[in-house]
Amino acid sequence: MTIRRATAIGPANIAFVKYWGVQDAALTLPYNESLSMNLDRCLTTTTVEFDPALNADEVTLKLHGQDEQPATGRPFDRVAAQLDRVRALANIETQARVRSENNFPSDAGIASSAAAFSALTLAAVAALGVDLSERELSVLTRRSGSGSACRSIPTGFVYWRNDGTDAGSYAESVAPPEHWALADVVAVVDPGVKSVTSADNHRLTATSPYFPVRLQEVLGRVEQTLTAIRDRDLGQLGAICEADAVSMHVVSMTAIPPTFYWNAGTMAVIHGLRRWRNEGLFGYFTIDAGPNVHVICAQQDAAEIEQRLRALPEVQFTIANGPGAGARIVEQG
């Protein structure tokens, strides 16, 4: 028996309409559909090597700016569980060596697990030669537990459809990266580690009395976002991004117990953007489960926005991305 290996790259993505709340934790089925853009420069590269000589999976992670480290505990268990799903499809039991490397800071407000689990799933599937459509690959990636990772499989602008079933909760591209010269400039106001895990978040959403209102609103927002992407309408997309981010944080702040992700820097950036728009510079905020702010703007305005963000005392650094491709194989066999 031989070693079977593949290397894949997975991108991070930024959601315009957020995944917030898990309806079925075992299958990672969300309450609502979501829409995102893959990031072209925030990537994870993962090599998976199924080796008959191994007695157990081995996982090493190289985070940005850190030495390579073996994964243990929960991070290891999540990788091994995803490898198990791929092994089940291939009907094998061979253990694997996984090496994963991030080219962007972890916990800087860019969802690294989406990049990681899209790269892992694609590399493992490719190594074993499992024949899956893109849709099936996104379903398998979703089941990793990092639901938004399914949106990092298709290219460009991505729609995570959801009908509440395993096969009907998948991501598909609605436009390639070159469709729209957008930028996502992340203003990092606190690079610290999140104090509430995503898993806890998704569980807590349902305790908020505002969550049912959010779910109703999202139905309309998904349609409006598809139209805004089709028409390349930044004003419309920006309004949706901001309303959806506020709505997601409303749910967090009104959950039992509440979580306040926003900090001083978050508000400084929100108010900065609102001032700059009055001056004719159009950047719109969206905020994931942390204090850092993603600013969505035209690529031609990204440099000016990045400069102004860096001039705010609360902003520690910025990371700029354009729309990117989905997960792809870079080496196989």
Interface residues toward a copy of itself, by CB under 8 A = 209-210, 213, 216-217, 242-243, 246-247, 250, 253-254, 258, 260, 262-268, 270-271, 274, 314
Give min distance, CB of 263 to a copy of itself, in A.
5
Q: In this complex, which beta carbon is closest to a copy of itself, that of residue 257 or of residue 280?
A: 257
CB of 235 to a copy of itself, least distance (A): 13
CB of 232 to a copy of itself, least distance (A): 23
Nearer to a copy of itself (CB atom), residue 18 or residue 142: 18
Please give the angle made by the CA atoms of 200, 201 and 203, to the nearest 5 degrees: 65
Question: Nearer to a copy of itself by C-beta: 67 or 279?
Answer: 279
Geometric angle at alpha carbon 209, from 206 and 210, rounded to 5°: 95
Least distance from a copy of itself to the Cβ atom of residue 252, Å: 10
Helix (H) or strand (E) holding 265: helix 264-278
Q: Which contiguous run of DSSP H or E holds residue 331?
A: strand 328-332
Whether the ω angle into residue 257 lies within 30 degrees of 0, i.e. cis, is yes
Residue number with CB closer to a copy of itself (85 or 277):
277
Of the pair 39, 248, the CB lying nearest a copy of itself is at 248
**From its phi and psi, is residue 164 left (phi > 0), alpha (psi between -120 and 50) or beta?**
left
Q: What angle do CA 107, 108, 113 make, to 5 degrees?
A: 50
Minimum gap (Å) between residue 202 Cβ and a copy of itself = 20
Dihedral, CA of residue 63, residue 102, residue 153 and residue 238, to nearest 10: 100
